[in-house]
Amino acid sequence: MPMVSAAILGIIQGLTEFLPISSSAHLILVPWFFGWKPEGLAFDVSLHIGTAIAVLAFFWTDWLRLARELLAGLREGSLFGNEHRRLAWFLMVGTIPAVIVGLLFEDRVEAQLRSPLITVFTLSGLAVLLCIAERLSKQTRTIEKFTWTDSISIGVSQAIALIPGVSRSGITMTTALFRDSTRTSAARFSFLLSTPVIVGAGVLEGFRFVRAVRNPAEGLISVNWAVLGVGTLFAAVTGFLCIRFFLRYLQTRSFMPFVVYRLVLAAIVLVYYFRAY
């Protein structure tokens, strides 16, 4: 893979992982549009590592505070004694559905649902839901007022994001809006909730990569470390900047531009698909 292609895909991963427009859809569609060959397992790992670095770097103080409060709550016998302890438990419980669904169905999704035509329906479908949520949400509840119902409902919605085109951030923020969350609280909870999943996916893909390298039946696979480094770097830097921009953006603006983008992209893919096939 040329360095330029690696940089482009790294930028796309960093942007689309955190904006409500679906990273999986873009990583399917961009190579499909340009006729690029599949990047392979090693490059997928590098992109996951890049976005994991981005979200950990941005929220490391939050995670330290949550871990400290969680341990203090266990030690003091006051598990839900303050908002930080409650949030830590909400995030742990909300992560469970995505972990279960990912372990059970990831291979099947990878094999059967990576058609560009699938992304047409998922891109447009979530665009409609996000538009409705934006219009109907009262946006009166901050992250400090979230409940177990919020945690479980948003966590279940995150599991649906395994389907390409849905968007992890898109579906979780949409669900939070339907629960009358403010935009910034919806985004912040979404990003925090995605951290274990993104990091876990990077670790899991890393194990698969190591197993593929060491498997005698497969033989040694070719690895271009420079290309992997470029993909990781661009995904990490772009992802970090994207998170910072998006949280500031939502303080004064709505999700509607992303609704329009998803619908336009779905239409372009549909036209291109029928011309190609």
**Domains of the chain: total:** 1
DSSP string, 218-243: T-PPP--HHHHHHHHHHHHHHHHHHH
Angle at the Cα of 203 from the Cα atoms of 197 and 207, rounded to 5 degrees: 140
pLDDT less than 50: residues of the chain: 219-220
* Per-residue pLDDT, 41: 63
Q: According to the model, what pLDDT value does residue 222 have?
A: 63
DSSP H/E element including 37: none
| Paired tokens of 132 | 């409705």
Using one digit for the tens of pLDDT, what is the confidence trace for 153-199? 999 999 999 999 999 999 999 999 999 999 999 999 999 999 999 98
pTM, two decimal places = 0.91
Give the pLDDT confidence score for residue 40 in this predicted structure: 66
> HEC string of 156-208?
HHHHHCCCCCCCHHHHHHHHHHHCCECHHHHHHHHHHHHHHHHHHHHHHHHHH
- pLDDT tens for residues 216-234? 555 445 667 788 899 999 9
Output the pLDDT for position 1: 57
**What range defines the domain where residue 251 resides?**
3-276
Give the chain's mean pLDDT.
Answer: 90
CA–CA separation, 45 vs 47, rounded Å?
5
